[in-house]
Structure formats: structure tokens, C-alpha cells
């Protein structure tokens, strides 16, 4: 199995629901808490597994605004795992989820430097590295209703821009979406083989226009409509009185 996410940039409005849902679930999750520093002060910050970046392409008036949620890509060739000196960082054999064993992590931050996606977040208070678990504590929890055994970012997304599934299964929804919509990996040139994929904004074909009519002067049009109304009336056979 190769579990991961597909994110549809065609419908993501950048609302941050996925990011906050992730924060909410995972602060009491396997690698919780997701510590917040100075939460009511001058420089509020904290541990997040999922952050939304937004940027503009092209120039006014043709500019587009793109919202891009970013979390761990669960790379096939995960540099964060390679560099880990204690073996705390690992990619699960059975499903490809990249995790950090909190009991083995010494918080050296090497993995965060190695990750080009900025997906790893050191809990500065606890001195250990934390990151997206793909909600491993939901997807395998048989006590949850079946349709809730998904990462919370997927469950909560109001525009259904997020999909979870097995990329090894060619018939899975994630595999089909990538095939059909031209899904791509982010920064594949770096060679880490990210599992998560993004679907590009759709290019919609131009809408057809109603053909124009000639002679649209106010008086002539109203005259024409009066005539049409009279003709319609006459054709009913009632205009004979």
C-alpha cells in the first residue's frame, strides 16, 4: 500500500479548514500535543502539520490566486528518513506513511533541514520532531464509523478538495484522479518521489455566446415587440373585433 493525499487546486479556496482540523485532531493524537508558543502574546506560533500557502501567478487583470495546502508528502525516497541519526524517522513498510517515533527522537532538526517541503515541525517545548501522520490513529481505528476512517483534513474540507487513498491501487479514487486530471507531484526534480499529488486548476472552455441581433435601437425595438405581441394575438384569432 502507498497511502497519501490528492489535493485539488481547482477547488481549494484557501479557507484553512484542513489546517485547523489537523491541528485540532492531532493535538490529542499520536504525537500530540501540537504545542503553541506565546498563544496570546506578541509572536503567536506553534506546531502545525498542514499549512496553507497562497500566491499569485500572472499580473493584473489576468492574475490568478492559487491556494496550496502543504503537509508531509510521505515521499517514497524520504530524505528526512535518510538523515535521521537515531532511527526515529521511518517510513512504514506496510503503507508508506512517514512517521517519527517520539521516543527515539532527540530533536536534532536534521530531518527538518532535509525536507524541502517544510513539512516537519520541531516541538521546541518538548524537543521532539512532529509531522503529519496521515491520521494513522483514525484510518486504522475500527471503532470509528467506517466513512470517518480518513485523515481529518479530508473529512472536513468544505470544497472536497482533498482525497485520501492508496496510490498502489490503480483503481483507487486517488489514482484515477491523478490519471484523469493530470495530477502532479510538487518539485519532483528533487528526486524524493513525493506520494501526495496536486490536481491543477481546470481550464474551462470558453462559454458560447448568444448571437447578437441587429437593430437594437430603443424605439424600433419597442415597436417591434408591440408588433410581435399584436401578431401573436392575431394568430390566436382573437384580434378581429
Residues 64-123 that bind another protein (CB under 8 A): 64-67, 76-78, 81-82, 87-88, 90-96, 99, 101-104
Q: If binding is defined by CB under 8 A, does position 21 make contact with another protein?
A: yes
Site residues (CB under 8 A) for another protein, limited to 180-219: 201-202, 204, 207-213, 216-218
Partner residues linked to 130 by β-bridges: 121
Query: Which range in 151-159, 170-178, 182-190 contacts another protein by CB under 8 A?
Result: 151-159
Residue 114, burial from CB neighbour count under 10 angstroms (0-12, 13-18, 19+): middle
Identify which of residues 28 and 109 has a Cβ nearer to another protein in the complex: 28
> Quick check: 7 binds another protein (CB under 8 A)?
no
CB of 189 to another protein, least distance (A): 19
Site size with another protein, rule: CB under 8 A = 106
Q: Got the DSSP string for 52-96?
A: EEEEEES-TTS-EEEEEEEE----TT-HHHHT-SSS-EEE-TTT-
Question: Quick check: 31 binds another protein (CB under 8 A)?
Answer: yes
Q: Of 10 and 186, which has the nearer Cβ to another protein?
A: 10
Q: Minimal distance in Å, beta carbon 171 to another protein?
A: 20
Nearest to 111 by CA among 99, 95, 97: 99
Verify binding: residue 143, another protein, rule CB under 8 A: yes
Amino acid at each position: 500500500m502507498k497511502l497519501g493525499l490528492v489535493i485539488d487546486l481547482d477547488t481549494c479556496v484557501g479557507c484553512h479548514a484542513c489546517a485547523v482540523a489537523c491541528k485540532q485532531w492531532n493535538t490529542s493524537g499520536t504525537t500530540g500535543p501540537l504545542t503553541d508558543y506565546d498563544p496570546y502574546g506578541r509572536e503567536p506560533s506553534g506546531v502545525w502539520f498542514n499549512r496553507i500557502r497562497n500566491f499569485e501567478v500572472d499580473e493584473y487583470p489576468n492574475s490568478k490566486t492559487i491556494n496550496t495546502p502543504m503537509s508531509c508528502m510521505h515521499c517514497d525516497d524520504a530524505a528526512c528518513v535518510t538523515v535521521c541519526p537515531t532511527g526515529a524517522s521511518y517510513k512504514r513498510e506496510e503503507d508508506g506513511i512517514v512517521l517519527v517515533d517520539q521516543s527515539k527522537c532527540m530533536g536534532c532538526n536534521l530531518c527538518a533541514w532535509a525536507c524541502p517541503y517544510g513539512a516537519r515541525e520541531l516541538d521546541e517545548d518538548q524537543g521532539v520532531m512532529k509531522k503529519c501522520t496521515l491520521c494513522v490513529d483514525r484510518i486504522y481505528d475500527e471503532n470509528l464509523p467506517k466513512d470517518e476512517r480518513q485523515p481529518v483534513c479530508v473529512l472536513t474540507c468544505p470544497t472536497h478538495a482533498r482525497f485520501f487513498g492508496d496510490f498502489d491501487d490503480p483503481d483507487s479514487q486517488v489514482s484515477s484522479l491523478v490519471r484523469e486530471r493530470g495530477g502532479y507531484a510538487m518539485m519532483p526534480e528533487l528526486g524524493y518521489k513525493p506520494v501526495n499529488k496536486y490536481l491543477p486548476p481546470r481550464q474551462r472552455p470558453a462559454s458560447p455566446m448568444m448571437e447578437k441581433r441587429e437593430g437594437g435601437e430603443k424605439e424600433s425595438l419597442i415597436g417591434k415587440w408591440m408588433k410581435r405581441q399584436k401578431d401573436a394575438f392575431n394568430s390566436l384569432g382573437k384580434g378581429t373585433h
